[in-house]
Structure 1
């Protein structure tokens, strides 16, 4: 294989009309920084039979024009191609034209290789500046290629039968609405605002009543506003309260009662105080997962005991805390076993303790029919929480966004 063809093969240049004549190293200064680049000398030429303007066969070669083409990087090094493009003169219409290649668009200096590198890097949640440094172009060029005039999709082709809804903090400290398909986990809708009127207006405008009636279930957290929105938009859908948020609600109440119990203990060096203070995570474990056989050294108490012994010490410190802990365990057991009857029985048989658990149980009692759906149906907000996690990573890597449209375009890219 000739050396010219070998260089073209390494650089993934498929145009056979390009020939490489020379290669060298150069030092350039970009934005005050010294950079070492690889420069290739090449020529683009082929036989052009007819004039593209008049169609007559009266073309002659008329010199060449040099174009600095930016190629893809290899091992972090920038490659530039000084490409001499053949020019042609038509004796019939007196116009000139030039040779074109599939390596680069007409009147452009950035090759298609660079354009193909920008989108995959943007999907990896990199900043515009970082992408520009990797591919060797300006940040404004990267921004123009990523954003440009790309319109945001207004709707999906087919409305999913099972939907997840939630909200997330977007640009300028605002909260935006997000929804995804509960079966395929694909992003469905992004709205700038989370207000009920905006959500209702969007779905009524983009989807007919017949389409919205096909929705079978919608998974949400304990947000009461979304419940009224779902009843108005999807009249035949079952509302599912996310099981994680159920445990999170009663878990926060358990923590608040634990902290109030700590404050009521006068002896700050007692075993009860140390058990509740240092090993608080153990009280959130499912009681069937507690190790009652293995004796371990417990930091904070500075004693050897089992996890079950530690929990017993904490529960003996306050009967109210013990009651709240048992309620927490009963709700966790019902959610884990998907037993709606036990969950309903636990909520209805709860006796007030004058703690924050009373408020949590009241909230669950108001949503008792939706909790039953959570136990019977397999859907949850887990897929949507995963998408929101990717959005948080994007915001963290890019130090936030000021332009909401650009933020939504980047979200669409990483979810594609």
Structure 2
């Protein structure tokens, strides 16, 4: 009679160990030893099957391997081997939907540094995660679908990536490319930020320059959404403001140049503020295209671009040329097209956007950070699909009987 200690469920911080006695026999014919089978022992390891299954269920949540090993009293290497050997995510075979969102995220170095994510934004479903974003790999992946299947795709939502645009346009010739609003608004916002930083560096009034640097959040908001009720104190200007009155105060400073008795530095500062506010108005006019309804978005977008070309604004000129030459139709579609997004709580009408896939990328970053990084893309992809609740197969074979007892 022999005994073995099997690690079972823990009650809080108290580990539970089952001491199991079993018989060991010898064959009289061949003189070989064999032991009695323990039905609840997992794969000849010092752990019970329910304990290991519970650890595998924890991997559907965003827990690290180290925390799971501590909760179940198992070693980190044991948890990793169980995860690698017993959970299998099948390959994705699906039909392409009429609307897809694409984006990249930083993955692992064993396959491709950046992976490729494909999502159905209407239903909020991740279609697949591809190991590389290279054009040759994406072309071979999507050519697995027949042409009549790729023809079903009507809209592709993406960021301002020229390489993705060329690939998607060649693979899906009947699909309309739509730019995500967040990306081109951020690009225009970065142009305004550069003009604001340059203005702060040239201003002679240092308290005013520090105040403008500190209140960046006010310039990002749409002007009509600024709060005009709640007051706050500006320590640099030694005055009380509301969000709307602060912007109005800058406009009054820009009008000082009209006074005859102004000091030279004051007139120079007013010119700098006026130039910054002109860039601010360009950014606000782009926000106006999004926040307000227009009868003719094409005319309004052309008017916004023409103003930049007429004034030869150095901050927005390169962006405007890029919008006019490559992204005019995708920008116009993002402004004028609307759809109904379906979620668990219901459905709502909005524009085509990459909001869901950007949220997915945030979850992926959180999974990677909690795991302190992944070495292999296969394990990262498996963990992402587990966290999303996708179906998986749990295979465990009894090494003594040679048959699977869980599946």
Partner of 2:357: helix, strand, or coil? helix
Partner residue in 1 for 2:289: 334
**Are the counterparts in 2 of residues 279 and 300 from structure 1 also a CA contact under 8 Å?**
no
Distance, in Å, in 2 between the alignment partners of 1:146 and 1:338 is 52
Partner residue in 2 for 1:411: 384
Q: 2:323 aligns with which of 340, 364, 372?
A: 364
Partner residue in 2 for 1:277: 213
Structure 2 CA distance for partners of 1:152 and 1:196, relative to 1, 3 Å: farther
Distance, in Å, in 2 between the alignment partners of 1:106 and 1:303 is 72
Partner of 1:148: helix, strand, or coil? helix
TM-score normalised over the length of structure 2: 0.77
Runs of 4+ in structure 1 deviating by more than 6 angstroms, as ranges, are 86-91, 94-97
Partner of 1:355: helix, strand, or coil? coil
The 5 Å alignment of 1:209-220 reads 209-220=147-158
- Residue 188 of structure 1 and its aligned partner are, at CA, apart by 1.9
Distance, in Å, in 1 between the alignment partners of 2:38 and 2:248 is 81
Q: Name the stretch that deviates more: 290-299 or 217-226.
A: 290-299
Query: What whole-Å deviation, never above 9, does each CA across 1:164-213 have from its counterpart, x for those lacking one?
Result: 111111224922211212122222222222212211111113x2222111
**Are the counterparts in 1 of residues 119 and 357 from structure 2 also a CA contact under 8 Å?**
yes
Give the aligned length.
349
Distance, in Å, in 1 between the alignment partners of 2:84 and 2:162 is 36
- Residue 349 of structure 1 and its aligned partner are, at CA, apart by 3.8
- Residue 384 of structure 1 and its aligned partner are, at CA, apart by 0.6
Q: 2:51 aligns with which of 109, 114, 123?
A: 114
Partner of 1:158: helix, strand, or coil? coil
The 5 Å alignment of 1:144-163 reads 144-148=81-85, 153-163=90-100
The 5 Å alignment of 1:291-370 reads 291-315=227-251, 316=254, 317=270, 318-337=273-292, 339=294, 340-341=297-298, 342-350=300-308, 351-365=310-324, 366-370=326-330
Distance, in Å, in 2 between the alignment partners of 1:386 and 1:177 is 15
**Are the counterparts in 1 of residues 211 and 234 from structure 2 also a CA contact under 8 Å?**
no
The 5 Å alignment of 1:83-102 reads 83-85=20-22, 98=36, 101=39
Query: What whole-Å deviation, never above 9, does each CA across 1:288-307 have from its counterpart, x for those lacking one?
Result: 11233544322332211232
- Residue 158 of structure 1 and its aligned partner are, at CA, apart by 2.1
Query: What whole-Å deviation, never above 9, does each CA across 1:103-145 have from its counterpart, x for those lacking one?
Result: 3457454222222222332233322222212111111211012
**Are the counterparts in 2 of residues 275 and 313 from structure 1 also a CA contact under 8 Å?**
no
**Are the counterparts in 2 of residues 320 and 353 from structure 1 also a CA contact under 8 Å?**
no
**Are the counterparts in 2 of residues 165 and 220 from structure 1 also a CA contact under 8 Å?**
yes
Distance, in Å, in 1 between the alignment partners of 2:281 and 2:80 is 55
Partner of 1:166: helix, strand, or coil? strand
Structure 2 CA distance for partners of 1:356 and 1:119, relative to 1, 3 Å: farther
Distance, in Å, in 2 between the alignment partners of 1:415 and 1:346 is 42
Distance, in Å, in 2 between the alignment partners of 1:108 and 1:401 is 25
Distance, in Å, in 2 between the alignment partners of 1:179 and 1:78 is 43
Partner of 1:187: helix, strand, or coil? strand
**Are the counterparts in 2 of residues 218 and 237 from structure 1 also a CA contact under 8 Å?**
yes
Partner residue in 2 for 1:138: 75
Partner residue in 2 for 1:19: none
Distance, in Å, in 2 between the alignment partners of 1:90 and 1:352 is 96
**Are the counterparts in 2 of residues 100 and 106 from structure 1 also a CA contact under 8 Å?**
no
Which ranges of structure 2 fall in alignment gaps of 5 or more residues?
255-269, 339-350, 390-407
Structure 2 CA distance for partners of 1:338 and 1:223, relative to 1, 3 Å: farther
Greater length-normalized contact order (CA 8 Å, ≥ 6 residues apart): 2
- Residue 255 of structure 1 and its aligned partner are, at CA, apart by 0.3
- Residue 388 of structure 1 and its aligned partner are, at CA, apart by 0.6
Partner residue in 2 for 1:379: 352
Structure 2 CA distance for partners of 1:314 and 1:357, relative to 1, 3 Å: farther
Q: Name the stretch that deviates more: 115-124 or 341-350.
A: 341-350
Q: Name the stretch that deviates more: 398-407 or 129-138.
A: 398-407
Distance, in Å, in 2 between the alignment partners of 1:162 and 1:153 is 24
Partner residue in 1 for 2:368: 395
**Are the counterparts in 1 of residues 227 and 243 from structure 2 also a CA contact under 8 Å?**
yes
Distance, in Å, in 2 between the alignment partners of 1:336 and 1:117 is 49
- Residue 245 of structure 1 and its aligned partner are, at CA, apart by 1.0
Distance, in Å, in 2 between the alignment partners of 1:82 and 1:324 is 75
Structure 2 CA distance for partners of 1:109 and 1:354, relative to 1, 3 Å: same
Q: 2:225 aligns with which of 289, 295, 302?
A: 289
Structure 2 CA distance for partners of 1:183 and 1:85, relative to 1, 3 Å: farther
